[in-house]
Structure 1
Amino acid sequence: MELTILKKMFDLFSFFCLFSWSLAGVFGVDEVKSVSVTEGESVTLNSDTEIQTDDMITWRTVQNNNLIAKIKENNNKTDFPDERFRDRLKLDEKTGSLTIMNIRTTDSGLYRVISSRSKTPLYTFNLTVYARLPVPVISRDCSVLRLYQNCSLVCSVLNVSDVTLSWYAGMSVLSSISVCDLSISLSLPLEVEYQDKNTYSCVLNNPISNQTTHLDITQLCKTCSDYIHCCGFTEAVIRLALSALVGVATVAVLVYDVRSRSLQQKKREQTPSNSD
């Protein structure tokens, strides 16, 4: 029994060693550096080394092992063979650090830097590129006419991913909604009183940046006794026209019902009874 347990422990230890060795073969070092940046900006992946005599520094993408950049110490000759990065890469002549300019969301991924002297990766970088955040738009929610009641608002953003949209009252979060990966439109409602004195703001954020729009209650939350000033002339006219149509239809139904009842009453009066 003891020998069996020892054998299992040895097998487990061997598996752990082989697994650790395989990870070292993939990443070259224990550390994977995480780097985040917003699209359109520039980012530098630092090799934290100095190019030695007859040394060559190469950069590759881990996903498909594509060579994207290399530099040799003896002549400082650089080469950027990957067309996806045309005119967007730069190598430091002393360290071989890689700078990616005008970065795109499609540039996200794992990057590995290798020195020809060591034959093993110096570092692996996990690069995440976030899309630029739009400014949230706060508007009056005119889907329901609310005379002399609370002010209905909605905060909206279009075509976003990996973000959170939130309503704040001061520094406190009132509500929020998040989306990952998919590029969709988000909207978040809020109701406030017309005379509310709190400070409200709508915030769109991802892990590295945010966009904020502050609510001006005096501008958006006017008393809706004059509906045109609340939701705009065109929408007001449309809604008033629809209300008028509904009113006319209601009156027509009532008139029809009254006439139908009157005709039925006359028919009953004109029909002789069975006793006659």
Structure 2
Amino acid sequence: MIRLRLLLTLVLSTHITGFSAEISVFVQTGASVQLDIQTQEKPEFEDLYWTKDKSENLVKYTNESKKVKIYNDRVDFNDSTFSLTLKNMRKTDSGPYRARTIGKSENDIVKYRVSVLDAVEAPVLTVNSKWSSHESCNFTCNGSNITISFIYNRSSCFPEEVTSSDLYTLRLICSNDSIVCNYSNPVSLKTDTVNVNEHCTVNEGTYCIRSEL
């Protein structure tokens, strides 16, 4: 079983107000994700807010009374660590999130950019034509939006990979025994495999033709 991990990336940006860091988080549709304040020392404040899109309040925590007010029934708040857990994520939950403190001054503690993605569909690895003494053995590896066409001959075989602009990756791995087609995005991976010996007689030369649809 493949362990899927959240992909965290620091995205650095400069604003009129100064320098800030935004953490990009990818989460699968229907899953949960925890957003931490990313600081070892607890900040000093009167009120702490978790918000979405700068204006939609999710949680308000009042330090003096230790009172927590929840504005969304699909979030949990930890009043010890000040972390926010977003549950049963939907694509409409994608967007910017931030933890903000109000006291003597107003400060953003941390900013996130959350992207909710569906799991990929399984790729399809097909044999287009079988090898004979005068023909190549042709395979096509199809993801939902990317294709790698592979002409197999007898030689060393090198992995081929294509990544689309929306972070879907199709990767073809081949050997003397098998061809593996991996299709993935930041939250999921699925695979299709064929046995080369069932379809091809080994010949000379190997190359791949890649195309993005």
TM bucket (normalised to shorter chain) is 0.5 to 0.7
Task: State TM-score, norm by structure 1.
Answer: 0.51
Q: Is the 8 A contact 2:171 2:182 kept in 1?
A: no
**What is aligned with 2:47?**
56
**What is aligned with 2:60?**
70
Q: Is the 8 A contact 1:165 1:188 kept in 2?
A: no
Query: C-alpha separation between the residues in 1 aligned to 2:171 and 2:34?
Result: 37
Compared with structure 1, are the counterparts of its residues 150 and 32 closer, same or farther at alpha carbon in structure 2 (3 Å cutoff)? same
Task: State TM-score, norm by structure 2.
Answer: 0.63
Query: C-alpha separation between the residues in 2 aligned to 1:110 and 1:91?
Result: 18
**What is aligned with 2:99?**
113
Query: C-alpha separation between the residues in 1 aligned to 2:125 and 2:51?
Result: 44
Between Structure 1 and Structure 2, which shows a larger proportion of helix residues?
1
Map residues 126-137 of structure 1 onto 2, 5 A cutoff: 126-137=113-124
Structure 1 counterpart of 2:46, one-letter code: D
Structure 2 counterpart of 1:203, one-letter code: N
Q: Is the 8 A contact 1:166 1:204 kept in 2?
A: no
Compared with structure 1, are the counterparts of its residues 97 and 121 closer, same or farther at alpha carbon in structure 2 (3 Å cutoff)? same
Q: Is the 8 A contact 2:119 2:187 kept in 1?
A: no
**What is aligned with 1:199?**
178
Between Structure 1 and Structure 2, which shows a larger proportion of strand residues?
2
Query: C-alpha separation between the residues in 2 aligned to 1:31 and 1:188?
Result: 31
Once the two structures are TM-superposed, the CA of residue 75 in structure 1 deviates from its matched residue by 4.4
**What is aligned with 1:138?**
125
Query: C-alpha separation between the residues in 2 aligned to 1:177 and 1:222?
Result: 24
> Deviation per CA, 1:222-271, whole angstroms, max 9, x where unpaired?
79xxxxxxxxxxxxxxxxxxxxxxxxxxxxxxxxxxxxxxxxxxxxxxxx
Task: Please state if 1:179 is matched with 2:164.
Answer: yes
Compared with structure 1, are the counterparts of its residues 166 and 42 closer, same or farther at alpha carbon in structure 2 (3 Å cutoff)? farther
Compared with structure 1, are the counterparts of its residues 165 and 106 closer, same or farther at alpha carbon in structure 2 (3 Å cutoff)? farther
**What is aligned with 1:238?**
none
Once the two structures are TM-superposed, the CA of residue 181 in structure 1 deviates from its matched residue by 4.2
Compared with structure 1, are the counterparts of its residues 128 and 21 closer, same or farther at alpha carbon in structure 2 (3 Å cutoff)? closer
Structure 2 counterpart of 1:61, one-letter code: K
Once the two structures are TM-superposed, the CA of residue 198 in structure 1 deviates from its matched residue by 4.6
Pairing partner for 1:157 from 125, 140, 143: 143
Compared with structure 1, are the counterparts of its residues 188 and 181 closer, same or farther at alpha carbon in structure 2 (3 Å cutoff)? closer
> Deviation per CA, 1:175-227, whole angstroms, max 9, x where unpaired?
x44433499xx9999xx9xxx835321121334543332222244x279xxxx
Query: C-alpha separation between the residues in 1 aligned to 2:106 and 2:171?
Result: 53
Higher relative contact order (CA 8 A, sep 6+): 2
**What is aligned with 1:101?**
87
Q: CA RMSD in A?
A: 4.0
Q: Is the 8 A contact 2:170 2:183 kept in 1?
A: no
Query: C-alpha separation between the residues in 2 aligned to 1:23 and 1:51?
Result: 20
Once the two structures are TM-superposed, the CA of residue 99 in structure 1 deviates from its matched residue by 0.7
Provide the aligned length of Structure 1 versus Structure 2: 179
**What is aligned with 2:3?**
none
**What is aligned with 2:111?**
124
Compared with structure 1, are the counterparts of its residues 138 and 91 closer, same or farther at alpha carbon in structure 2 (3 Å cutoff)? same
Gap regions ≥5 residues in structure 2: 1-13, 202-213
Specify the SS of the correspondent of 1:106: helix
Q: Which has the larger radius of gyration?
A: 1
Gap regions ≥5 residues in structure 1: 1-19, 82-86, 224-276
Identity of aligned residues (%): 21
Query: C-alpha separation between the residues in 2 aligned to 1:153 and 1:165?
Result: 11
